[in-house]
Homo-oligomer: A and B are copies of this chain.
């Protein structure tokens, strides 16, 4: 309860004072390293194990979907669909958020129902319309039947009883903390390369401050201020509902965070999504209803700030948002441990 009041107060204050705020650092370059929780230190072996798990379709009941299926790290860290399809092609309720730079988010899922990457990783595997494993024990049983995983869990976490659901989540989260896209044109600009941004992007950069977008989209990930981990930064969406967009894109059908908190004050509250790599993560919004970034900019200006933007403003803002596409690190494809002479998928 306190959390949301604090978030809303912050927004109000920051929108009023954004001019001053931006000049003292509304814009920040992306760090090379995200926050690392004390109870899940990084190690190369843990990251490698987590990468294997992230890519392994055996974490889904019928062996068809891995984390990477909907959060494709070959691309935008999403599936570029309105909503993802789970086992049996069942449609999920919300658009898949990008896994790139998720390590900088202060809460996970659109409704912030997971405070950490570790907590998030546990969700889709057991979700009844996503990877549909029946329960934690079924996941552990399956992984325990894969010798290469048993060995790696023992090595990484120590001890004979190291293959646990908690440790599975820790390994995946450790891998996800390596999925950082630094050195976007914006970051290079912020660090002093004044030629890194085009004239249009620079105009867009001023617009997003002048209009008020950066009241929420600030911080290293343009997803709100760096609150203590797990708190999350939320905003009501849509805020202004008396416009055609809300009906056209069904923006008010999902009550968002209140489904988690059971608090009416959280109705239609959503985690503020990142702007980083947003040019690559279409379609947009929690329901994936808006197909282009240009339209998403128009919708946001109207529903959140009650402003109608001119075409040039939209173009310039889109140009600025494109400057937030970072450098995606080269990765090796993991080798998934095999199960000689048998399959662990029973269909």
Interface check A328, CB cutoff 8 A: yes
The one of B89, B283, B345 in contact with A343, judged by C-beta atoms closer than 8 angstroms, is B283
Is the beta-carbon distance between A341 and B322 smaller than 8 angstroms? yes
List residues of chain B with CB within 8 A of the CB of A338. 75-76, 279-280, 325
Is the beta-carbon distance between B80 and A63 smaller than 8 angstroms? yes
Interchain nearest-CB distance for A317 vs B (Å): 11
Is the beta-carbon distance between A340 and B279 smaller than 8 angstroms? yes
The one of B58, B74, B292, B342 in contact with A293, judged by C-beta atoms closer than 8 angstroms, is B342
Q: Chain A, interface size: which category?
A: 35 or more
List residues of chain B with CB within 8 A of the CB of A292. 341-342
Is the beta-carbon distance between A336 and B81 smaller than 8 angstroms? no
Closest to A282 in B: B343
| CA–CA, A56 and B292, complex, Å | 21
- Binary per-residue interface labels of chain A (250-294) against chain B in the complex, 1 for a CB within 8 Å, 0 otherwise: 000000000000000000000000000001101100000001111
Q: Which of A57-95 contact B (CB under 8 A)?
A: 57-58, 62-64, 69, 72-76, 79-82, 85, 87-89
Q: List 15 A-B contacts (CB under 8 A).
A: A62-B81, A64-B79, A64-B85, A64-B89, A72-B336, A79-B345, A80-B344, A279-B340, A280-B338, A280-B340, A282-B343, A293-B342, A322-B340, A331-B332, A331-B333
List residues of chain B with CB within 8 A of the CB of A291. 342-343, 346
Closest to A346 in B: B291
List residues of chain B with CB within 8 A of the CB of A85. 62, 64
The one of B56, B57, B87, B332 in contact with A333, judged by C-beta atoms closer than 8 angstroms, is B332
Known contacts A57-B79, A63-B79; A294/B332 CB under 8 A: no
Interface check A330, CB cutoff 8 A: yes
| CA–CA, A64 and B88, complex, Å | 12
Interface check A55, CB cutoff 8 A: yes
Interchain nearest-CB distance for A316 vs B (Å): 13
Closest to A340 in B: B279
Interchain nearest-CB distance for A284 vs B (Å): 9
| CA–CA, A58 and B282, complex, Å | 14
Interface check A335, CB cutoff 8 A: yes
